[in-house]
Amino acid sequence: MNNLIKYLEGGDLRSIADANKLVSLINSQKDFDALFQYLFANERIIVMRASDAVEKISLQKREYLSKHTQDIVNLMNMARHKELKWHLALIASRLDFTGEDSRIVWEKLTHWATNRKESRIVRVNSIQALFDLANNNEDLKKDFDLTIQKIKNENIPSINARLRKLGIN
């Protein structure tokens, strides 16, 4: 698919521009792969919108992510901007990581969830991702519970709301 960039450009960080239109235009692995490459763009606004579209598409088409597992790990390690982090958290929970990658992703999500310097949405999405990953792996539940105990004491409304939504009191 050509001309993906036109759906990702323009405006400022408060707008997703035409990223939602782009979601409906991605109909194949090839199209998705072309979009995915924009996660490595130099322009923050392009990365934000591309990650928003990738996250929305992967909600319905998880299989599109499978060939990008290592890219997701790499992006999580190098992400600086909150807009990319909050999408990566949700995207990561849709992949099956193994070995060292599993540990790296879990530790990064835990760091984002517990780091008071991260934006609230990064923290909330990281908590959601940790919850989803722990529900799929019994070995992670104890670590998840310990992480939640640290977070609960902060008494932050947005985080408390997510914990309630997850059934965590």
Query: Is 120 a residue whose pLDDT tops 90?
Result: yes
- Residue among 74, 81, 86, 71 at smallest CA distance from 36: 71
Residues in the chain, overall count: 169
Structural tokens at position 76: 């999580």
Rounded to the nearest 10 degrees, what angle do helices 157-165 and 141-152 cross at?
140
- Residue among 56, 53, 47 at smallest CA distance from 22: 53
Query: Is 169 a residue whose pLDDT tops 90?
Result: no
Q: Provide the sign of the torsion angle of the four alpha carbons 154, 158, 159, 162, taken in this order.
A: positive
Q: Encode 33-58: b = buried (16+ Cβ within 10 Å), e = exposed.
A: eebbebbeeeeebbbbbbbbbbbbbb
Residue 21's pLDDT band (cuts 50, 70, 90): confident
pTM over 0.85: yes
Q: Under a CB-based contact definition with an 8 Å cutoff, are residues 36 and 70 in contact?
A: no
pLDDT computed for residue 22 by the predictor: 86
Query: Is 154 a residue whose pLDDT tops 80?
Result: yes
- Residue among 83, 129, 86 at smallest CA distance from 110: 129
- Alpha helices, H only, 61-140: 69-78, 82-92, 99-114, 120-135
Q: Provide the sign of the torsion angle of the four alpha carbons 18, 44, 76, 2, taken in this order.
A: positive
Query: Is 9 a residue whose pLDDT tops 70?
Result: yes
Rounded CA Rg of the chain? 16
Four-CA torsion 5, 120, 166, 47, nearest 10 degrees: 10
Report pLDDT digits (tens) over 80-103.
999 999 999 999 999 999 999 999
Report pLDDT digits (tens) over 29-55.
999 999 999 999 999 999 999 999 999
d(CA 35, CA 128): 25
pLDDT computed for residue 15 by the predictor: 61
pLDDT computed for residue 55 by the predictor: 96
Query: Is 1 a residue whose pLDDT tops 60?
Result: no
Report pLDDT digits (tens) over 61-81.
999 999 999 999 999 999 999
Average pLDDT, the chain: 93
